[in-house]
Structure 1
Amino acid sequence: MVHLYYDSKTGNVQRFIQKVAQITGWQVHKIEDGLKVCEAGHLVTYTTKLGCVPDNTRLFMDRHADMIYSVTSSGNRNWGKNFGLAANKVSEDYDVPLAMKFELSGTMEDIHQFIDIIKHQYNDSKRGSKKLDIA
């Protein structure tokens, strides 16, 4: 079973995750106080303040980075080079492969691409390559 851990502020990431879960049946876990991480999985977060990692995401990764196979981030293309930059920063800071980035709550194409990446590159793997093969 695939486990997805997500952080969402405006609801964009939550909408993306809910669509993924509806299609796949994967387990989703919202990052919040008291979340116990018992299974390794994948992180999906958002980018805030024009390129920053959300505080909640950083705290989560400080505690559970060894349980995370990949990181994906939402963003806004209006931010130019800062689009989805949280994923790059999490990848670099915690040595976790970057799976992909998507805009706002993602398109159906983004959702299917994410599912494909997780199924074929990172599911049940030992973190895979740190290289940005997809993003």
Structure 2
Amino acid sequence: MILYYDTKTGNVQRFIDKVVQITGWTAIRIQKDMQIEEEGHLVTFTTNFGQIPALTEDFATKNNAKLYSVTSSGNRNWGRNFGVAGDKVASLFEIPLAFKFELSGTMEDINQFIDIIKNQYYDSKRGSKKLDIA
């Protein structure tokens, strides 16, 4: 399992580190102009009260055909804009939204994310609405 992720303040990094520690999955921080060879799941953050980070958008534009799902972090203080970058990526690139978590996530969030990725989407065909439970 490969997780491609974007982080700015370290919240997504901390979330990813915990997931990798529990699962042993591979995590790769996305870089400018990055093209991926292997399919995986995207984890990103929401910026500017509801925007997709520029690096995430560029990455998804170039690699959306190889992304199984998107997960986003956010802050519940943003109200309806909580984790909305995930909604926007899902809509723009027709990638299922897997999960949203606040800041760096709780252990419950981490376990729920792992369960969703491992049990609900591991072998599913892309475009499945099965994951739209966030």
TM range (shorter): over 0.9
**Residue in 1 aligned with 2:78?**
79
**Residue in 1 aligned with 2:92?**
93
Number of residues paired by the alignment?
A: 134
Asked whether the 8 Å contact 1:5–1:43 carries over to 2, the reply is yes
Counterparts in 2 of 1:26 and 1:132: CA distance versus 1, 3 Å: closer
2:129 is paired with a residue whose SS is coil
Amino acid at match of 1:51: G
Question: Share of identical aligned residues, percent?
Answer: 64
What is the alpha-carbon distance in structure 2 between the residues aligned to residue 36 and residue 94 of structure 1?
16
Counterparts of 1:55-66 in structure 2, within 5 Å, are 55-66=54-65
Asked whether the 8 Å contact 2:33–2:58 carries over to 1, the reply is no
1:69 is paired with a residue whose SS is strand
Asked whether the 8 Å contact 1:99–1:134 carries over to 2, the reply is yes
Asked whether the 8 Å contact 1:96–1:127 carries over to 2, the reply is yes
1:117 is paired with a residue whose SS is helix
2:41 is paired with a residue whose SS is strand
- Over aligned residues, Cα RMSD in angstroms? 1.3
Counterparts of 1:98-113 in structure 2, within 5 Å, are 98-113=97-112
Structure 2: where are the runs of 5+ without partners?
A: none
Q: 4+ runs of 1 displaced by more than 2 Å?
A: 33-36, 130-133
What is the alpha-carbon distance in structure 1 between the residues aligned to residue 24 and residue 104 of structure 2?
19
Q: Note the alpha carbon deviations across 1:80-123, whole angstroms, 9 max, x for none.
A: 00000000000000000000100000000000000000011111
